[in-house]
Amino acid sequence: MTTHRRTFLKKLGMTAAAGVVLPSLVMCNTKTGEKELDAKKGMKKAVLPENDALKTYSKEAVQLVRDATCIDMLGGYGDWVHQRNGMSLTELWESVPNSFTEKDYEFVKSCGINVFGWGDMRPSYEEMLLFMAAQNGIIASNPKYFERIDTKEKLKNINISEKIGMLITNQDSKHFKTLDDVNLFYGLGQRVSQLTYNDKNRIGCGAFEDVDSGITAYGKQVVERMNQVGMGVDVSHCGDNTTLGGIEASSKPVLITHGACRTIAKGVARAKTDEAIKAMAKTGGVIGMPILRFMISEKEPVSFDDFLNHIDHVAQLVGVEYVGIGSDQSLYTEDYIPLEQRKARLENAPAKYQTHTNKDYLLTIDKLNHPHRTYDIAEGLLKKGYKDEHIKMVLGDNFKRVLTQIFRH
């Protein structure tokens, strides 16, 4: 039976969005009253100074991030590292109305991301209803700070509003028990749904299935209904045959919100073939690059340049218009989990993830494993000679274009 990463991490007391910091592993910050990870037990480098982080970047990179509509198609603003009132900030924000403060807002905005593709892996109808309720609750109780991205107009104006854009998504479509459930969850605010996770469902097969029988008849009907209502079709975790079948079944652009290139990451099941990337691009879709070591390369060492090479590959294969960012991490990445927990997680990960790591047992890539990584991506693309307009496309304008084409309203 396929074990997905989030279930595995929760068994260790963590989440895939970011690590849950246990009380015995945190220390109090007497200036703020909040708790933060002990750097000696977590990352070698302490949490970046929130007020000074941008001073290390060039004016050009900072301006590009400000000018673009920066979108992380699978990323979260959630914070499991810091604690307030005896719980992580994420838990606080989801359970206590109006607990998201001006300081919280200023920090998230300083990271440069305008829209977060806020999607967990909720495999059941009931779990997805609870997830929708929690996210809609945060937005409703903090209208000054958040905007649910569910229309073309809200997406168009998110930079002007200066709010934090939340695009509610899911990494499975098992909650579509009937075709009318697509309409139901659309009405609740969901705007992107991944057809499968790593395993098989009624729609098709995930990337970890030994035999991929492709998209089913019901799966084609689900895709058609998603097209009709204006919900994005995501094939990130789908197997090769289901990926191509999902693309073929769609009359609207298809998304790979987080998936690398198998031409570079050879043999990695969660990376996409050139055939799939070309087929996606023909629909007008976009692929988002993750920051996970085991998705960017099949072996160590893995560098920031390796990440940029995946962007280069898509740009050369089909055009820079079809590549963006899908980190598969929150602002505080899983590398903020204490060392011993990182080690246990990686050493016991299911084999099909093909995980590997460096001597520090990090999951994500150096230069990208911190909250302000969007600026590093802009800086890296500048150094590689990308034009300003193309950098802004990669940072988010490509996903902005395709979501505008997908959204009905």
Q: How many domains does the chain have?
A: 1
pLDDT in tens, the chain (409 residues): 233 444 434 433 333 333 322 122 222 233 344 444 333 333 333 233 344 667 789 999 999 999 999 999 999 999 988 999 999 999 999 899 999 999 999 999 999 999 999 888 899 999 999 999 999 999 999 999 999 999 999 999 999 999 999 999 999 999 999 999 999 999 999 999 999 999 999 999 999 999 999 999 999 999 999 999 999 999 999 999 999 999 999 999 999 999 999 999 999 999 999 999 999 999 999 999 999 999 999 999 999 999 999 999 999 999 999 999 999 999 999 999 899 999 998 999 989 999 999 999 999 999 999 999 999 999 999 999 999 999 999 999 999 999 999 999 8
Residue 30 lies in a domain: no
Match 């705007």 to its residue by tokens.
191
pLDDT at 248: 98
Residue 185 placed within a domain? yes
Does a structural domain hold residue 18? Answer: no
Structure tokens at 199: 């395993």
- Domain assignment present for 174: yes
In-domain check, residue 45: no
**Angstrom distance (rounded) from CA 350 to CA 366:** 24
Rounded CA gap, 74 and 291, in Å? 11
- Domain with 134 in it: 56-406
pTM of the entire structure? 0.89
Q: Which tokens go with 382?
A: 């500048």
Q: Which of 225, 224, 202 is nearest to 215 (CA)?
A: 202
Specify if 10 maps to a domain: no
pLDDT in the model for residue 15: 37
> Domain of 260: which CATH number?
3.20.20.140
Residue 32 lies in a domain: no
Which stretch of DSSP H or E encloses residue 344?
helix 339-347
Please count the other Cβ atoms lying within 10 Å of the Cβ belonging to residue 298: 16
Q: Quick one: CA dihedral 390, 391, 394, 398, positive or negative?
A: negative
Torsion of CA 345, 74, 133, 219, to 10 degrees: -100
- Note whether 187 and 225 are within 8 A (CB): no
Q: Is 101 within a domain?
A: yes
